[in-house]
Structure 1
Amino acid sequence: MSDDQAPSTENGGGGDVETVEKSEDHKKLVDFGLDTTVADELEKLFQAKLVTYDDLDPRALEAIRDFPIECAIAVLKQLLADSNLQHVNNKSAYICGVMKTYRQKQSLGEDKPAVTNGPDEKKLKEILDRTGYALEITTGQRKYGGPPPSWDGGPPGNGHECFVGRIPKTVYEDDLIPVFEKFGTIWDLRLMMNPMQGCNRGYAFVTFTTAEAAREAAKQLNNYEIKPNKKLQVNVSIANVRLFVGNIPKNKSREDILEEFKKLTEGLREVIVYAFPDDPKKKNRGFAFLEYDTHKSASGAKRKLASGRIRVWGSEIIVDWADPQDEPDEETMAKVKVLYVRNLRSNVTEEELKKIFEPFGEIERVKKVKDYGFVHYKERDSTLSALEAMNGYKLHEVEINVTLAKPANENKARERRMRRERDNNMNMGYDDYYSSYPPASFGPPPPMMRGRIARGGMRGRGGMMRPPAPMDYYDDYSGYGQGYGYDDYSSYGGCYEDFSAEYSPHPVTPQPPHRGRGRGGHHAPAPVAWTSNAAAAWPPWYAQRSGGYGTAWRGQSWHQ
């Protein structure tokens, strides 16, 4: 027997002596610089057909070589004993992830790799054989599908994904797939894993090929008992695919911005800008929203654009996430009798709006707010006729944009009413509030800090305190605003609420425009109308993505 094929012995602390048959791959490992005992453990993985030598790229071999010998042996032994690597596509990355987790556990005083309690492999195999889907496992997640077999086209858009929370730690795809596939074709299911504990993180995302399936799954499965006394939390999740970009030259049109950012990023689908109706020379307001085909594309674009290495038209740009929008369902929108009219010049009056929209049917009321407005029709047919005829109509030589307005979420409407009542009871005037604010200044956003409270203060981003919403407007328009961070409305536009109108007993002087980005406090982001290209709200946390991450503190109001 040659030296390369001679068996080696290993004494695990005085226990049984174990013999390992050496292969040519064993010699390659040793030649690469791995300790013989570590090479022996890898040889066992080779012989068990869990890993092959070709699965290990140079970076993985370097990581194993440079890992402390005792730690490397412990990790490889654990992989041999407890892991099923059949569905791990990138085994090099997986092993490196396991080593990273082991080192993190060591720093916390734990020296054993996490023991993974997986699914029922027989049941899972039956599901995979029946559906033809692939299962891909990494240290951070287990992904089923994406795309499904014979899928033609890109990934589904917004509104197709469900967030699934409160998943028991012992539940895997073999339990989840049969439950969710009843409501439609699953595009993918991603179960988030905790490598430190070797179990799931308690939540997952299920994407369907249709939005209807996602809505029905959320409706039927919220509070579904997946195990005795263990109920799931399920709701439709809005994946964030929009970025806010600031410091855009105001002479650049939407087409200019789209062309420039398509050169710099991948997956850009749409650009949303807001112009100055009173000044046609200014083609945007110094910012834009970039809409991508997937969250992955948007995330990659954000990393690239925020790296500091890219200048756009000679300037550094400000990049952040935009808030995902809660989109009303088709049933709700089918009842809307209100039009959202944008891009109105300042000299346009409510009377003039009523006059040009009245030929299409009886109007109950009209409300103009700055450079946009709302037209309430009595009949749905009148609304649709006006929508078709008036979108793109030139009013005072400016083309207006007309879409269906979005009914506001009742919970958020209730929150705004409660906030107003609270603020009005504070006995504090505008002057008292404004005198406590430092002046806004130029410059980029302040450094990121944990928690929403840290996002207020200087640079026009809104303060900790929130001035009471101005009461000289209808309550049912408190959810609108088109200001660039300085609008006087409590939320953002394209939505309307139907509750009683009130007026302020005293005249209110609006706060002067902030310079900078002004995303927090009482300032409203750009308005949003009911279109697939609607601009999102200002960019706070991805954790507020309607994905079941709980509530987030913003100014002095809770957003759920």
Structure 2
Amino acid sequence: MLGFVLLQPKIWLNNVNRNNKADLLNWMKSNNITLVQVNGQRTYGGPPPGWVGDAPPLGSEIFIGSLPQEIYEDVLIPLFQSMGKLYEFRLMMTFSGLNRGFAYARYSSRRIAEQAIAFRNGYEILPGYKILVCRSTEKSELEVDGLPGFLDRATLEGILEEMTTGVHTVSLFASPTTNSKNMAIVKYSSHKAAALAKKRLREGVQVLYGCPFTVDWLQTSIRQKLQDGTLAKPQAYIPESFNSQIKQETPAKSAVQCLQLVCERAKLGQPVYRIKFLSLGTCGWLRFWYCAVIPNHSVPFTGYSWLLGDKLIPTEKYQQAKEMVALRILKDFGKCLVFSVRSCIA
């Protein structure tokens, strides 16, 4: 019997595709099955109940595309489980409760994955709907660019292990795009771990020790240079005064003040912040949850972020967290407001 953990019912909008959702719930109930949904994907297994041993090797995952949006796991899991033992099944979901047209199935071996591709590619899952099944690329490497030269590999690895899970290796090179900055290539234990790490690192304002950084999948051109051994050694620049460098990069007006001005001009009302601090890591990284409500804006801004908070008193932690939340909101507002946010911080 399949085994799942809790399905969060709040993300289901029952007025969309109601009948098929009811069929899925009946299937779950009759088989004593529950599902987990996190970050836009609903997951079975990883590992499934009763699994013994290590995770399957690379090459055991398949990509399933061209799915009709109205079908769910009650159809998909039995279809693909008939090929062999599933280690994990992930269906990508929209907030309306439809699937996003694709899924991933990870089997216990490469052989079973190849068999599933051979027998299920082009399968007519509904009249007129043939699905695409092929090998998953299983990306597991991220590039983190724009890192300060004084950040060594061991410290960066410690930060990443606190902020993400499944870090396998961290390699440091000179940035191919920015002088005096470095780039890290971070390999994770699986595609799923890498994808979640990419999302988490993008959740907050992407500034590390005063230096803006970017996070993305490892580009093919960078991978080729890595294989050829042509990536330059990392920079070793150490500024005279780390604190003064950050101060010089801080705008004259704070993000909180700027957001207040933006809301005042747009007649939205003043923002109200709620911040809840979570655990403090050994490298000093403090993760927090936030909810910012702007009275005349349709939805609140919520999410998670993190800051370097081991040497901050509680009031400083709160103010820095508010700054990061305000910056995130300003970034979102900048796409839709008539006037430029930049004028607030000039």
Scaled by the length of structure 1, the TM-score of the pair is 0.32
Greater relative CO, 1 or 2 (CA 8 Å, sep 6+) = 2
Which structure shows the bigger proportion of residues in strand conformation? 2
Scaled by the length of structure 2, the TM-score of the pair is 0.49
